[in-house]
């Protein structure tokens, strides 16, 4: 089913949009929504075969153009090559959906994996935001969407580092929105709750009541230019409202309880493997 954005969307943010993390989840569905509304799309992620499959689908179904850029955006060189690959395009929108997550006990984490997450979720987003902001300001209009998380608003036991990376993204988006708005650039942070995508498997999470990536993508894009932060999904909204007046220490404890439920299988797995007596 096609999701229609408002009539001004294509004029303000087209004709081309760049979507990172487009091989799966929120990025993939964002690309689909944009194509349905007539925008040409640059698809960027590491998995070229998945991007080519999506590009074929979008051009066949919606008659738009696609460009595939297979790069690792956790590296400075990958981000630089992305910008080189789109130099000739009139890009009016960046949807920065590339990201990764980890969960479980901090002391049991893999430092190499945590550092990779830091580079992708923070350094990569910083580089993309900087490069695209300069380009869009020269253009005179455009939009930037940074994918945050409902965990961005408090420390989160059993996802401590992931939540910290998303706090960075949330804060960056909030600050950029005020700086870039007078220059014609709309900036939005999207802070969804549990979302059905490949993310949960990679982060080793069990997420009940997960919202579809399609819903998150469509509600996020519809909010661009209207507010600074959107919380797609009832759980993200519920936690936001219910915890708004709670002291930060209490929010940390409450969200820690939520994460214990999402990671309980990890403890059971360790017990089953003889890791806990």
Which range, of 12-21, 23-32, 61-70, 251-260, averages the lowest pLDDT?
251-260
Q: What is the spatial distance between Cα 245 and Cα 243, in angstroms, rounded to a whole number?
A: 6
Kindly indicate the confidence band of residue 262, based on its pLDDT and cuts at 50, 70 and 90. Answer: low
Mean pLDDT of 109-115: 95
Torsion angle of the four alpha carbons 202, 205, 208, 209, in this order, in degrees rounded to the nearest 10: -50
DSSP 8-state code for residue 154: S
2 or 260: which leads in pLDDT = 2
* pLDDT tens digits, one per residue of 41-59: 999 999 999 999 999 999 9
Retrieve residue 82's tokens. Answer: 């992305």
Q: What is the spatial distance between Cα 208 and Cα 154, in angstroms, rounded to a whole number?
A: 21
How many C-beta atoms surround the C-beta of residue 50 within 10 A? 17
Q: Report the chain's mean pLDDT, rounded to a whole number.
A: 88
Q: Is the dihedral of CA 255, 163, 187, 24 positive or negative?
A: negative
Q: What is the spatial distance between Cα 87 and Cα 138, in angstroms, rounded to a whole number?
A: 13
Mean pLDDT of 152-170: 94
Q: Write a three-state SS string for 50-113.
A: HHHHHHHHHHHHHCCCEEEEECCCCCHHHHHHHHHHCCCCCEEEEEECCCCCCCCCHHHCCHHH
Question: Bridge partners of 17?
Answer: 41, 93
Is pLDDT of 180 > 70?
A: yes
CA angle 10, 8, 192 (to 5 degrees): 75
Q: Is 230 strand, coil or helix?
A: strand
103 or 164: which leads in pLDDT = 164
* pLDDT tens digits, one per residue of 181-226: 999 999 999 999 876 665 555 545 555 566 789 999 999 999 999 9
- Compute and round to an integer the Cα radius of gyration of the chain: 19
Whether 96 contacts 143, CB under 8 Å: no
Torsion angle of the four alpha carbons 225, 245, 232, 229, in this order, in degrees rounded to the nearest 10: 20
Which range, of 5-9, 100-104, 184-188, 269-273, averages the lowest pLDDT?
269-273
Residues annotated as catalytic are: 162, 166
Kindly indicate the confidence band of residue 277, based on its pLDDT and cuts at 50, 70 and 90. Answer: very low
Which range, of 25-29, 196-200, 244-248, averages the lowest pLDDT?
196-200
What domains sit in the chain, N to C, each tagged with a CATH number?
A: 8-272 (3.40.50.720)
pLDDT of the residue at 90: 98
Whether 42 contacts 18, CB under 8 Å: yes
Assess whether the previous peptide bond of 15 is cis (omega < 30° from 0). Answer: yes
CA angle 67, 56, 5 (to 5 degrees): 75
pLDDT of the residue at 276: 39
Kindly indicate the confidence band of residue 270, based on its pLDDT and cuts at 50, 70 and 90. Answer: low
pLDDT of the residue at 187: 98
Q: How far is CA 242 from the centre of its chain?
A: 24
Is pLDDT of 83 > 80?
A: yes
Q: What is the spatial distance between Cα 233 and Cα 229, in angstroms, rounded to a whole number?
A: 13
Spatial neighbors of 222 by CB under 8 A, at least 6 apart, are 5, 6
End-to-end CA distance of the chain: 52
Q: Is the dihedral of CA 253, 257, 263, 269 positive or negative?
A: positive
pLDDT of the residue at 264: 52
* pLDDT tens digits, one per residue of 117-132: 999 999 999 999 999 9
Is pLDDT of 151 > 50?
A: yes
């Amino acid at each position: 089913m096609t999701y229609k954005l408002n009539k001004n969307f294509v004029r303000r943010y087209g004709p081309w949009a760049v979507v990172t993390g487009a091989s799966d989840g929120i990025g993939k569905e964002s690309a689909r929504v944009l194509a349905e509304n007539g925008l040409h799309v640059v698809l960027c992620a590491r998995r070229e075969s998945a991007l080519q499959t999506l590009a074929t689908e979008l051009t066949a179904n919606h008659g738009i153009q696609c460009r595939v850029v297979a790069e690792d955006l956790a590296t400075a060189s990958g981000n630089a090559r992305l910008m080189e690959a789109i130099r000739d395009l009139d890009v009016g929108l960046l949807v920065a959906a590339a990201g990764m997550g980890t969960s479980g006990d901090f002391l049991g984490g893999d430092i190499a994996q945590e550092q990779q997450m830091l580079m992708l979720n923070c350094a990569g987003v910083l580089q993309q935001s900087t490069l695209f902001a300069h380009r869009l300001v020269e253009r005179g209009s455009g939009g930037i969407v940074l994918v945050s998380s409902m965990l961005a608003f408090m420390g989160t036991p059993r996802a401590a580092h992931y939540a910290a990376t998303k706090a960075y993204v949330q804060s960056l988006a909030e600050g950029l929105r005020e700086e870039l708005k007078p220059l014609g650039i709309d900036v939005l942070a999207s802070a969804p709750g549990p979302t059905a995508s490949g993310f949960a498997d990679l982060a080793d999470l069990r997420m009940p009541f997960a919202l579809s990536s399609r819903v998150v993508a469509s509600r996020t894009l519809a909010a661009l230019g209207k507010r600074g932060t959107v919380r797609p999904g009832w759980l993200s909204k519920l936690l936001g409202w219910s915890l708004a007046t709670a002291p930060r220490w209490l929010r940390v404890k409450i969200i820690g309880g939520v994460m214990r439920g999402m990671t309980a299988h990890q403890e059971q797995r360790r017990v089953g493997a003889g890791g806990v007596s």
